[in-house]
Amino acid sequence: MTPPPGSSGSSCPSVFCGIVPPHLLDRLARSSDPAIAAAARRTLVADAANRTARRLTTVTGATPVPLAADAPVDKPHRTVYDAGHTTTLPGTKARGEGEEPARDATVNRAYAGLGATFDLFRAAYGRNSIDGSGLPLDATVHYDRDYGNAFWNGEQMVFGDGDGRIFLDFTIAVDVIGHELAHGVTQYTANLAYFGQPGALNESMSDVFGSLVKQYALGQTAGEADWLIGAGLLAEGVQGVALRSMKAPGTAYDDDVLGKDPQPARMADYVRTGADNGGVHINSGIPNHAFYLVATALGGNAWERAGRIWYDVLTRGELAVDAEFADFARLSVAAARERFGAGGAEHDAVVKAWSTVGVPAE
């Protein structure tokens, strides 16, 4: 599918990547509830401004930021700022690395989430921060008013407080923090294009590692995890449990205002659309489900084997920027074979998972 006019087809260095997809905000903007519609429209306006800003920056993969000579390589370097309900970034410093907790719970959740993401990538994959070279982790909270999204802008994290009617504070869900920072990992590695199947893979990588950040932080096995993305973000009264489900794509919500979760779990139900950059948040359900199937088939800690295979594919330099699902499937089978051996449980689980979702892997 060819990117529509105005879309660079590039990765998140130049394309705005928010956790809440635009098709969902578009629906909320048409709500009969004036407060919900106004908050969604305000979020869409802010997202459009950020999208324009990203397109004015580089469209190539980012260059790692050199680590300061005296910086410890096994510790994060976090700073959380407060935008004070403006759109000015980064805002006023609210908490720095090693400082005492702030009085603001939102600041502290952001700080903890940055650390949880650093910990997963460092402990499981030996990666020193998002760029692999100790990139400082910056975040801004209390962005705009009633802002219903969170995003990675190529340099830092940004969190809205939600409108309180549909979405709550976006720092509540640690997997949302992990998801957005994982866009940074993709930015510095495979730099997957943000349209169609490569864009859905881009989103899926963030869901995969966002979920692993949560599982690692909670000490959960694959069998114990809920495999939900954004659990806790939906306000009371909304008929849903999260933004997405990796276990059962298409079941995260079914609400009169939000609508029905449109994610497919198999290629037979792939959604062809020009919206949402070719359905990047929608069709990500297919590779998401494949990862869930691998992780639960292998059991134990998902970051150790399933996550290792996915990380290898993302970071080894063989994944093209325009890779489609079948390309990733083929590389994941090869990665499983190379790391764990041919004919082993890992190899068989990967092959079976991609077959189940209808993607050829060999």
Would you please indicate which residues are annotated as catalytic (active-site) residues?
180, 281
Residue 36 in 3-state DSSP? Answer: helix
Of 138, 137, 203, the residue nearest 176 (C-alpha): 203
Query: Per residue, what are the HEC states of 326-343?
Result: HHHHHHHHHHHHHHHCCC
DSSP strand pairing (244-245 vs 228-229): antiparallel
Neighbouring residues of 362: CB distance < 8 A, sequence distance ≥ 6: 330, 333, 351
DSSP strand pairing (78-82 vs 137-141): parallel
The count of other CB atoms within 10 Å of the CB of residue 218 is 12
Of 120, 180, 130, the residue nearest 302 (C-alpha): 120
Give the whole-angstrom CA distance, residue 256 versus residue 238. Answer: 8
